[in-house]
Structure 1
């Protein structure tokens, strides 16, 4: 008897079926049976299912003699299910990696509930993923499992069958079956939740709900949308058969029913032309039949319900049409106001540019105004200490202003004070470029700090890599580079790279990386303080996972199953997951694990480095900074060929790695489990790497920069540490082909 029976009905989904089946059969949790039902599909679905069954004994295929619809196809699969729990999956959707393992763990932890509800994300055709807007209802706090009456808000979730795992014995005892017609999930899900003695939640995205451009049943214009009335008749018939549930749920179901009717009535692309009046008449009949007064109702909802009660479809259409016109008018007004404000801001900026430059003002920013961080933050802090006569200001978006110290003026991008500061400040410091509309004035000094040692191709070198630089305006790039007065470099490799890919007349300051000064000054107390802030035990082995951005991927999906590593390595290991700053979503935000902590919103990565015992990364420049800590670094390069083809690298990192290199997740697990990550060979690799790329990380890089740029004092870096003679060549465990290093020590 398998733990899970996964039921997948298939009809006219041949283009999506492989992905669906692979997402099930490729789960790390393998104790399952897959029951695939061919609903007499006229395309290749049946053949695809048979091919999977031929090569995987866990697959059972049921071929129906005629098309019966989604509900009856699920019934056919349910009759053959033998697992402890039943999971339904639509054939154009997919299970997320590790979801069955997470569901199995949660079922065990909550004592085997009748129903376990998990989350989903809408997968749009453009690759974007949008998590369920009511995800907060699936929090795992409080007693688990629980009765539905203890958390009635769960009835507000989308009533679908595929975001739940059902105990099969519970389904058999309750006699639940699917009914024919559209909206078949309605007549199943409500009764299932109300009949369940125990319910539990899993705060994890386990299903990617594909949003098809065409072919979605609910987006099809058809009179079959009238089936929703029959489905609600069945829901209320279930209530009538269980009078003990009436007082608790009848009022809730009545409101949900009327809201559902309103959604169908107002959504374009569902009801055929000329059928709206008939639909609202049916809705009015159901309103009268099942009306259950009581409970607070918001004014807009009360208006909609009143129109349904009266069957006033023309009034309803007029009101909704008026609302659409109002929304469009407001949109045009906002656009006009935005354009007018932009013109006023630029006029203001030009006026400010005619006023004298303020020698006592310095403006800082980092990562396109994402908050107080990186080398500009270290320099800003040192300016306040060494040059108190200079007033500092930091540009940050509203969401990041809380990261700016109280002694520093905060500037919001796109405001009048922002443009005033850019026009009047003598010193401008950034680790990326300022707004392209900035006019560098005589007397202004612009310091470009960059944000890491380059492994991946940068600047003009991206002209040969359209996957990464295809949308870049290189002429504008060079115009911005011409504004630089100083370019900060951490090592000789960076100097040679920056001067070639950003050719201009600036002065290079090969002084080290200011943001790494903290590593030379930090104490155990600093480490413990960050660990306490993150809720980490002082004796835990903390591994920071910080992958870089993939230019060849629109959606930055996780490359590493951290939950799997955490389970295999045991309770003493904790993983900190840090998404790249260009990622719109944290990679593990939808895949929580108690020992996998998402730290993507932590504003300084340096604190995370101090809190950790080791770094796992891929091609991220963070490895060059982390090496200054002299702590273990492990690389995962499972997609090296794709990454190098899309972005390009300046050298084969495997030929001069800062630590062990894994070519797969299994190799990484072996490196961590055996202790190879913290062995003597790892230390030798790291020593050579530090000597080459961290020659000036002595804790005084920031001071050197401030004395040179802000005080005009000559400041020379210390002599770089030489690379030990026995570590000048390839030091990996095996010789691999790669470009020879030409990096001056």
Structure 2
């Protein structure tokens, strides 16, 4: 790297929804001699992500909550390049962008302060959409321009990412440019520059986060839009051409914000009043309104005619509603009866003593919802639980379980009136999120495989998924339960919406710390495991690229090789319920026990001396017991390619990894499954993935969600070294 690089790429901010990972990986994949990368990483996750790229990148770790302006300034202070390119951690860089910018800035004279260039836009739905700025930049040409000669450049999208600043210029005007209001800094850079050069080439990716994943704007943030333009117009007061463009941008942005932002009535009125005063006070001489409806809107703003403007909006909305109603009438006819009943129930008050629970697409009382419901009975017995269960599974419910069957009259009534709705998947899209109801998403595992929006690049996993409808359901979540920081981060990435993450542990895993020797012995007795026998639980996961389940092991041979002293418990994934089981013949031989239909799965884990799995999330839960885990990964490359994964299990496995049956047999018939090397791998895995599971997760969730207790008053998570898992079968049977 040269002593003075041409370009410093200053990456700054938190690792929002894990976008920083892709940005830094792309920069690392194409190192450039003429550029340096400085990462002002905000928060632990960003810091950990950035540190993986040292010493190639210069990393500055900043505390969580550091604002964008402070992070940019800190990164710029560490930069040594002649030019600065500020890239937010959520954004991206097209391939070759740093090289293009470094080469172009090397040709610019010192009289140029800002290089303005094109960008592409991305959302969760699409990537690489062209911006509207290309034609404007192309018309401006590449030569250094004074802004007075090309004021139209102020119409280029106001991002810091689509311009690079000469380092000396940045330092001379840092007091104006160091602000959390990025559009203000972007405009101010042009207004303060002596000359601006243009490059009609995309060298930045502006990634727009889902608005639903962001905190709602405060009244002060809305009002700040008006203040932004008032200050900018003050900077441009002696530059008529720039002033006229900025005034037009102010009126346009104020009207758009007023119409599109969901402001409370009193905030909307005050915003309109402030925007009206600014529009009148700052209006240029001889200014003329545009023709048509836009001109009418601007006139109403200048008049301060709030009521008239709202009437105009209502009239336009009515016309659109009538047209939509005509289109939707036929489609809605079939569900009219259900909708009528549901609407009637929604009109009644929410019942604060009613909670609806569901698990695994209404399969029964299971998983995290079951553990929460049980703890709710202890801590808040006045809240009545009702389970949603299919008709086929209703007969399997524990005696006395109040339940409803989907589609029935009472089903819609309880969904409409319940204060609390708890699920480890999602409720149907037709379920309305009432403002005073609480939706608790518990999930049902720690993610190794890609989930949510991260499935989009994988056709086998994404088949038939309506991701827009998925996000509409996610937007109803108030709380999302997590067992570890890895899960918290991946849920934020896969399900971008504005919910509160509960880093409390998985309630279903509490039993791994509360069960005693008698519980372990009782489960093994129910399963028919003779005293003194070793039990190995084999629990493979579902594969999206397979239509059904075919065991990837010759189970008869494995059982024979393990010998009579070992019982092989085999649990097929629940996706294959109802299909003809390939285990039937083996079950009749007595060499294995088919536990596919046995619930709860936590009992099976308590009963097992060891777990054999492939990529199932059961490994994360079982690790709480601190018992041996063996990974059978004969198709890892295929699984990783077709489904996508969040980390390399082969490098971070919880124990020995077998790539074929012979290797698996060798591990299980020697001490390799439980030797010192296996114990070290398991310990590292537990530190990472059993972070919040300590036996009191359900209590924390119930106290926080149902009892409304403050986070600081909840039982703290016990450090891993102070936890005592349930006794192993060997310990339980010898006591």
Do the aligned partners of 1:573 and 1:595 also contact (CA within 8 Å) in 2? no
Question: Is the aligned partner of 1:672 residue 2:665?
Answer: no
Matched, 1:440 2:413: no
Alignment match, 1:536: 529
Residue of structure 2 aligned with 1:525, choices 513, 518, 528: 518
Alignment match, 1:648: 644
User: Which stretch of structure 1 is more off in the superposition, 470-479 or 533-542?
Assistant: 533-542
Residue 620 (str. 1) matches residue 631 (str. 2): no
Q: For each residue in 1:114-160, what CA deviation from the matched residue of structure 2 results, as whole angstroms up to 9, or x when unmatched?
A: xxxxxxxxxxxxxxxxxxxxxxxxxxxxxxxxxxxxxxxxxxxxxxx
User: Can you list the C-alpha shifts for 1:89-112, whole angstroms capped at 9, x where unaligned?
Assistant: xxxxxxxxxxxxxxxxxxxxxxxx
Q: Which has the higher contact order (CA 8 A, sep 6+)?
A: 2
Check conservation: 1:615, 1:634, Cα contact below 8 A: yes
Q: Give the SS at the match of 1:615.
A: strand
Aligned partner of 1:469 in structure 2 is: 462
Matched, 1:359 2:355: no
Q: CA, structure 1 residues 719+603, in 2 after alignment: closer, same or farther (shift >3 Å)?
A: closer
Say whether 1:588 aligns with 2:583.
yes
Name which of 419, 424, 427 aligns with 1:431.
Answer: 424
Native 8 Å contact 1:382 1:706 kept in 2: yes
Partners of 1:630 and 1:710 in 2: CA distance: 32
Residues 159-174 of structure 1 mapped to structure 2, 5 A cutoff: none
- Residue 533 of structure 1 and its aligned partner are, at CA, apart by 1.2
- Deviation (angstroms), 1:345: 2.9
- State how far apart, in whole Å, the 2-side matches of 1:418 and 1:657 are: 43
- C-alpha displacement of 1:481: 0.3
**Which deviations, in whole Å up to 9, do the C-alpha atoms of 1:414-455 show, x marking residues without a partner?**
211111110110000000001111011121100000001100
Per-residue deviation at 1:720? 7.1
Cα distance in 2 for residues equivalent to 1:488 and 1:362: 17
CA distance in 2, matches of 1:437, 1:587: 38
Can you list the C-alpha shifts for 1:312-331, whole angstroms capped at 9, x where unaligned? xxxxxxxxxxxxxxxxxxxx
Measured in 1, the distance between the counterparts of 2:415 and 2:601 equals 27
CA contact (8 A) 1:372 1:403 kept: no
Aligned partner of 1:713 in structure 2 is: 709
RMSD after superposition: 1.9
Instruction: Tell me if 1:416 matches 2:409.
Output: yes
Q: Is the 8 A contact 2:703 2:709 kept in 1?
A: yes
TM-score scaled by length of structure 2? 0.51
So what's the TM-score if we normalise by structure 1? Answer: 0.50
Equivalent residue, structure 2, for 1:549: 542
Q: How does 1:271-290 map to 2 (within 5 A)?
A: none
CA distance in 2, matches of 1:507, 1:418: 27
Q: Is the 8 A contact 1:375 1:515 kept in 2?
A: yes
Are 1:391 and 2:384 matched, yes or no?
Answer: yes
Count, aligned residues: 386
Say yes or no: does 1:575 pair with 2:573: no
Distance 1:403 1:694, change over 3 A: farther
Task: Supply the distance in 2 between the matched residues of 1:683 and 1:379 (Cα, whole angstroms).
Answer: 32
Cα deviation for residue 461 of structure 1 reads 0.5
The structural deviation recorded for 1:524 is 1.5
Shift of 1:400: 2.2
Residue 393 of structure 2, aligned match among 400, 405, 415? 400
Q: Unpaired runs of 5+ in structure 2? A: 1-331, 723-735
Q: Deviations over 1:664-685 (max 9, x none)?
A: 0110000001121122221111
* Alpha-carbon separation, structure 1, partners of 2:488 and 2:403: 32
The answer for the alignment partner of 1:374 in structure 2 is 367
Residue 723 of structure 1: CA displacement? 10
- 1:619, CA displacement in angstroms? 0.4
2:695 pairs with 1:699: yes
Q: What SS is found at the alignment partner of 1:654?
A: coil
Alpha carbons 1:688, 1:723 under 8 Å: kept: no
- 2: CA distance between counterparts of 1:392 and 1:677? 43
Task: Describe the shift of the 1:402–1:536 C-alpha distance in structure 2 as closer, same or farther (beyond 3 A).
Answer: farther
Distance 1:591 1:621, change over 3 A: same
Counterpart of 2:456 in 1: which secondary structure? helix
2:653 counterpart of 1:657: yes
CA distance in 1, matches of 2:701, 2:604: 25
Cα distance change of structure 1 residues 342 and 532 upon mapping to structure 2, 3 Å threshold: farther
Conservation of the 8 A alpha-carbon contact between 2:609 and 2:627: yes
Conserved 8 A contact 1:691-1:723: no
* 1:590 CA displacement: 4.6
Are the counterparts in 2 of residues 365 and 372 from structure 1 also a CA contact under 8 Å?
A: yes
Go from structure 1 to structure 2 and tell me whether the alpha carbon gap of 1:723 and 1:492 turns closer, same or farther (over 3 Å shift). Answer: farther
Q: 1:353 to 1:702 in 2, by over 3 A?
A: same
Aligned residues of 2:694 and 2:718 also touching (Cα < 8 A): no
| Mapping of residues 51-450 of structure 1, within 5 Å | 343-450=336-443
CA shift in 2, pair 1:722/1:396, >3 Å = closer
Return 5+ residue gaps in structure 1 as ranges: 1-338, 725-745
Match of 2:599 among 597, 600, 603: 603
The Cα offsets for residues 471-522 of structure 1, whole Å up to 9 and x where unpaired, read as 1100000000000000011100001100111011110001111000000011
**Deviation above 6 Å: which 4+ runs of structure 1?**
none
Other-structure match for 1:194: none
- Assess if the C-alpha contact under 8 Å between 2:693 and 2:717 holds in 1: no
